[in-house]
Amino acid sequence: MVTLNDYLFVSGLLFAIGFAGVLLRRNILIIFMGLELMLNAANLSLIAFSRFNVQNGVPDYNAQVLVFFIITVAAAEVAVGLGVIVALYRARQTTHVEDLNALKF
């Protein structure tokens, strides 16, 4: 029997993995992928709660609409972030966060 806790646990683990990626990696693209993993972990727990909160025989669709909005905003955020990374690479020829330690150059 699969319960809500199983989904929440997977979601928490996924968030922790993304968090580890953000903390431990030094390539800025991989840090970005970790951010995506964390967003998706939040989406998974929202969908699980939506399925758990059944009213009148149908799941709670407010949560799924929220997930829809999150996915849209995340796609826009990925586009902007990758644009920033490309601009950064053209200016500094690196994607390592340790080489990017100056606020102004």
Per CB under 8 A, contacts with another protein among 18-57 are 18-21, 23-27, 29-30, 32-34, 36-37, 40, 43-44, 47-48, 50-52, 54, 57
Tell me which residues in 70-89 interact with another protein (CB under 8 A): 71-80, 82-87, 89
Q: How far is the CB of 92 from another protein (least distance, A)?
A: 10
Report angle CA 43, 48, 57 to the nearest 5 degrees: 130
Q: How far is the CB of 15 from another protein (least distance, A)?
A: 8
Torsion of CA 41, 45, 50, 53, to 10 degrees: 180
101 sits near another protein (criterion: CB under 8 A): no
On whether the CB atoms of residues 97 and 28 are closer than 8 A, the answer is: yes
Nearest-angstrom CA–CA distance, 36 and 43: 11
102 sits near another protein (criterion: CB under 8 A): no
